[in-house]
Chain A
Amino acid sequence: MDYSANNYDIVVVGAGHAGIEAGLAGARLGCKTVIFTINLDWVGNIACNPSIGGTSKGHLVREIDALGGEMAKAADKNTLQSRMLNLGKGPAVHSPRAQIDRRAYTADMKHRLETQENLDLIQAEITGISRTEDGLWRLTTRLKTLYTARCVILATGTFLAGKVHVGDVSYASGPDGMFPANDLADSLRELGLPMRRFKTGTPCRVNRLSIDTSKTEPQEGDEKVARFSFEKDIPIKNNALCYITYTNERTKEVVKKNLHRSPLYSGLIDGVGPRYCPSFEDKIVRFADKERHQVFIEPCGENTEELYLQGLSSSLPEEVQLEFLRTVPGLENCRVMRIGYAIEYDCVDPLVLKPTLEFQDFPCLFGAGQFNGSSGYEEAAAQGLVAGINATARIKGREPLILDRASSYIGTLIDDLVTKGCSDPYRMMTSRSEYRLILRQDNADRRLTPEGYRLGLISEERYSAFEEKVRLIETERKRVAETIIRPSQALNDLLVSRETSPISTGICLEDLLRRPQVDYECLAPFDPQRPDISPEVSEQVEIDIKYEGYIKRQQAQIDEMRRLEIKTLSENLDYSLISGLRREAREKLQKIRPANVGQASRISGVSPADITVLLIWLEKEGKNADN
């Protein structure tokens, strides 16, 4: 007899980075929520690269924090080493990155989930999902226990029909030796979701004590810690070291000799791998002329000797991996603790999702994370947060949260997925955003915290602190615009030393700050009225001034973009009624069902001419409606 255990408002399937944010958001917004996980000991598993952040990913993490999500705080708490990438290339591309203690992070996240009100965390494998007559979702576990839910968020990561490949050995498995979710994969296909197969891979882990670090280049964290969370009271550790070494001709030879034994090249793997994260054998093949490839050795935790070998992801047979590792300086006598492998998994085509991450054809069913075809912990967490917020909105009858491309990288990520789709695992990059000078990591709070507060995920206390910060920025900006600095020998010496022209009459402080060669700090001795404000505040003032022209221009582009976004298109619009559309455009529009003309314009296969036709048609319909 099936045991009917419980009904929930929201069921989250998977306790990875997406599942965590989804579950916490739902619970915090007042929904009775549960997260199911196949393995309770690997909640929030940092399955591959033991780091969080990096270019554009750091932006995502800060935006998650600005909205009231959790990842940033846990990342800060469990940092081993901190760096800000792209320093010197301008604030639009500064990206915080941290090495993370894998086990500590998991334990920490698990505890946060355990202590969250309204949230249950249960170890169980979900094996089936179906609709009940009264429109609820019914889920079955391996132990044949039944649950019902008003909304379900699928955050299954790489578990669905997971298959691990190493050389010519393959077997059904989730990542890191965990059980795969095969029955659920079947159930989802039966339900009618458009599934496909992606793959990803991971490199060996080696024991630190077997590495000869003298043959490598050490890399420390930055002197100044780059934190993720806007809540500043979390102390951040920054002592760990990474190491850099390089492969060579001999490494190449080993791989080339054994290429036929790679499941990628022997055709055993169907899944599509990510362009940005090729396996080592991919690199050897595609960039055959390259003599050496960088290997970045990263620590996995404070209390472990495991080291991660970034750049050597592989699914070549075990003995081949060992052989090529030993050709690398420093790794000659390495003792491998985990062999690298490739894993294939089922995921869904995100084109069938709405910008809220709800399925177009399955009300109250949501997708988040690698299940949607993305890759990366940060991309997953961002989607989980949005899915959790929107599942709650569905249940409570509120307006859903749809972030547009100009508001955040999160918005850009989701728009890319649901409008353009992805033919390989989607990784966020700064190049994917058109509004990089506006979407900076330093102003994520200014952009998103008001929304987080409105949603109810940001506390009163935090919001007051935020409002104070904004007030200080505005005040200081005004003061700087009204302050005149008189010429002096010392000032002119400074200016000349910075290769910019000296001044002969009084100059507005704002105009001085506008010069790329001058910064806020160096002008301190000449600005006696300067109030005591934090560097975060002065940094905002300085950036706003220096990039004013660019920011204005990007803002104008954003306004232009938003003009098309407000031209809404009905979900049920029959595109076959609009004459003048090309056939490909018609098909794509019918499939993706964009919410507005702006989104329609970004669909591949929809040309500017088709948009003109759409706009003209809308005009006509509008006039007809008026008549």
Chain B
Amino acid sequence: MSDSRTIAAIATAQAPGGIGIVRLSGPNALQIADKVFSAASAAKLIESPGYRAHFGKVVKGVETVDEAVCLVFRAPHSYTGEDTAEIYCHGGLYVTGKVLQTVLEAGAQPAEAGEFTKRAFLNGKLSLDRAEAVMSLVEAQGEQAVRAALSALEGNLAKKIKEETSLLIKAVAGISAKIDFPDDEVEQIADEELLSILRGVSERLKKLLETFDAGQVITRGAKTVIAGRPNVGKSTLMNLLTGYERSIVTEYPGTTRDVIEETITLGGLTLRLADTAGLRETDDPVEGIGVELALKKIKNADLVLAVFDGSDVLTAEDKILLEACAGKPSIAIINKTDLPRTLDKEYIAGITGEVVEISASRGEGVETLAEAVSRALGVDGFDPSSAMLANARQRNCCVNAVTLTDEAISGLENGLTLDAVQISCEEAADCLLELTGEKAMSAVVDEIFSSFCVGK
């Protein structure tokens, strides 16, 4: 990865939409843009000041690719801190793709994943945790995810972490002041007070860690499997949730053979749905593969939606399915409420906990389902704009801080000398400071002088 490349990529989502943006960044961004963009005013982009929009067209030789508007940003006043050109063309995968192709043929290099943000970070435009927040924002597909990513960007996480860090630093300073000035009349922090501070920090950090899993579900989406016997209405349900005909729905058991994946938003959460073959013993080898795959998918799923035919009784296959759901976040969906019910609801409720009754063919019960999903995933009542650990790096820092704080606690409880305990506390503080990029030691020294009257 060299800074001297000019990179380009489609900045907008790969989906049908009104506008597509192709962004170029790097030392030759404007030269290359001039090769593919012809402004109506005949102005040259390379001579343009920053923050200027030019109307014109994207051209390839004499051929017009699209009418477009080109925005010019001049270093360092751009997202990446480099000269940047953003070509706003008509959206749609085909057209935007063609614009990008033209730009690449004119000399730009395809950007690697996250490369624009990496350059922004290296050019000092973004701090590390904000760069990560931007990445999360870009990845976020659901509303909750957007809120969570925004809150990291605004520093809710940083605020929470700073609170714990400052407690740790106070504790360390309390120990250090007495160690560095033992003859002075300095109040050394009492063991009980130290223990209580450390225990509090450990507890709150552990709670923060719990948010990580919920956070992952929110940003990445939950892998969800819809499972059930043939013809219980899984495909109908799938079609209902995705909004249009994706699965083949026929009356004969065993028609949905392959697993189809689809991403949907339900109640603000992102679910990655996979349809499954009917769960049934079968001689048909093609069928067989589908069923195996289905059981495997259930094993790897974050959430199982187990569908049952409310107008039938529980069969052996139903019970196999219920067993497979044990220990997993799962919801039993009793379908076909439009028909008279004969299914034993209590039996099911005893195993899955969450039971929802719907009529997929009539489109009834979706809201109840959404709430049940929230509860089952443990994100019910989760406020994503509260502090949340967004990625593995942050989680790691937090885990280490907890380990070290607990080490200090057990050291104190076992009569380990203060010099070693102090080191554990300081290292814990360092792990937290790593999240925002500072160092513990100078903070401790400053704290000692400002809080304690120490003399020669």
Contacts and interface: CB of A to CB of B under 8 A. Distances in A.
Nearest to A286: B453
Contacts of A612: 122
Interface in B337-360: none
Contacts of B2: 620
User: Which of B2, B127, B453 has the most chain A CB atoms inside 10 A of its CB?
Assistant: B453
Contacts of A550: 420, 423
B47 interface: no
A521 to B, nearest CB: 16
A609 B182 contact: no
A499 B455 CA distance: 38
- Closest 3 A-B residue pairs measured CB to CB? A90-B417, A90-B419, A92-B419
Interface string A285-318: 0110010111010000000000000110100000
A182 interface: no
Contact of B449 (A276, A499, A608): A276
Contacts of A616: 122
Given A55-B179, A608-B437, A88 B417 contact: yes
Interface in B389-430: 414-420, 422-423, 427
Contact of A608 (B128, B419, B441, B456): B128
A52 interface: no
A579 interface: yes
A235 interface: no
B25 to A, nearest CB: 14
Contacts of A260: none
Nearest to A515: B414
A487 interface: no
Contact of B3 (A49, A56, A292, A579): A579
A92 B448 CA distance: 19
A613 B423 contact: no
A277 B176 CA distance: 17
A429 interface: yes
Interface of B: 2-3, 121-124, 127-128, 176, 179-185, 414-420, 422-423, 427, 437, 441, 444-445, 448-449, 453-456
B423 A436 contact: yes
Contact of A436 (B182, B415, B419): B419
A311 B124 contact: no
Given A86-B182, A294-B184, A311 B415 contact: no
16 contacts: A86-B179, A91-B417, A92-B420, A93-B419, A275-B449, A296-B183, A313-B456, A429-B445, A431-B176, A431-B180, A431-B444, A431-B448, A436-B422, A437-B420, A608-B128, A609-B121
Interface string A266-286: 000000000111100001001
Contact of A430 (B128, B179, B449): B179
Given A296-B183, A609-B128, A612-B122, A287 B453 contact: yes
A85 B456 contact: no
A580 B423 contact: no
A612 to B, nearest CB: 7
Interface size class, chain A: 35 or more
A516 B456 contact: no
A276 B122 contact: no
Nearest to B414: A516
A89 interface: yes
A580 B122 contact: yes
A49 B417 contact: no
Given A91-B417, A276-B456, A431-B445, A55 B180 contact: yes
A547 interface: yes
A430 B415 contact: no
Contacts of B455: 276-278, 283, 293-294, 310-311, 313
A89 B123 contact: no
A582 B453 contact: no
A429 B447 CA distance: 13
Given A310-B456, A436-B423, A607-B437, A89 B180 contact: no
A620 to B, nearest CB: 7
B420 A56 contact: no
A432 interface: yes
Contacts of B185: 292-294
Interface string A568-612: 000000000001101000000000000000000000000111101
Nearest to B119: A580
Nearest to A429: B180
A419 to B, nearest CB: 12
Interface string A77-106: 000000001101111110000000000000
Given A89-B179, A276-B456, A550-B423, 7 more contacts: A48-B456, A55-B179, A278-B455, A283-B453, A429-B448, A547-B420, A580-B3
Interface in A39-54: 48-49
A85 B182 contact: yes
B454 A276 contact: yes
Contacts of B3: 579-580
Contacts of B453: 278, 283, 286-287, 290, 293
A93 B445 contact: no
A90 B420 contact: yes
A98 B145 CA distance: 63
A277 B420 contact: no
B418 A517 contact: no
A559 to B, nearest CB: 16
B415 A89 contact: no
Contacts of A511: none
A582 B81 CA distance: 11
B393 to A, nearest CB: 13
User: Which of A89, A294, A432, A579 has the most chain B CB atoms inside 10 A of its CB?
Assistant: A89
Given A431-B176, A431-B441, A85 B417 contact: no
Contacts of A430: 176, 179-180
Contacts of B184: 294
A434 interface: yes
A296 B456 CA distance: 9
Contacts of B183: 85, 294, 296
Nearest to A583: B124
A310 B455 CA distance: 8
B415 A93 contact: no
Nearest to A517: B415
A201 to B, nearest CB: 9
Contacts of A55: 179-182
A580 B124 CA distance: 8
Contacts of B449: 275-276
A93 B124 contact: no
A289 B383 CA distance: 43
A221 to B, nearest CB: 13
A591 B427 CA distance: 31
A277 B179 contact: no
A296 B414 CA distance: 35
Contacts of B441: 431-432, 434
B375 to A, nearest CB: 41
B391 to A, nearest CB: 17
User: Which of B121, B417, B437, B456 has the most chain A CB atoms inside 10 A of its CB?
Assistant: B456
B148 to A, nearest CB: 24
A55 B175 CA distance: 13
Contacts of A294: 183-185, 455
A62 B214 CA distance: 54
Contact of B124 (A290, A313, A582): A582
A437 B182 CA distance: 18
Contacts of B128: 608-609
A613 B418 CA distance: 39
Nearest to A433: B441
A430 B448 CA distance: 12
A210 B208 CA distance: 63
A86 B179 CA distance: 6
Interface in A529-558: 547, 550, 553-554
A296 B181 CA distance: 13
B456 A311 contact: yes
Given A56-B180, A430-B179, A437 B423 contact: yes
A609 B437 CA distance: 9
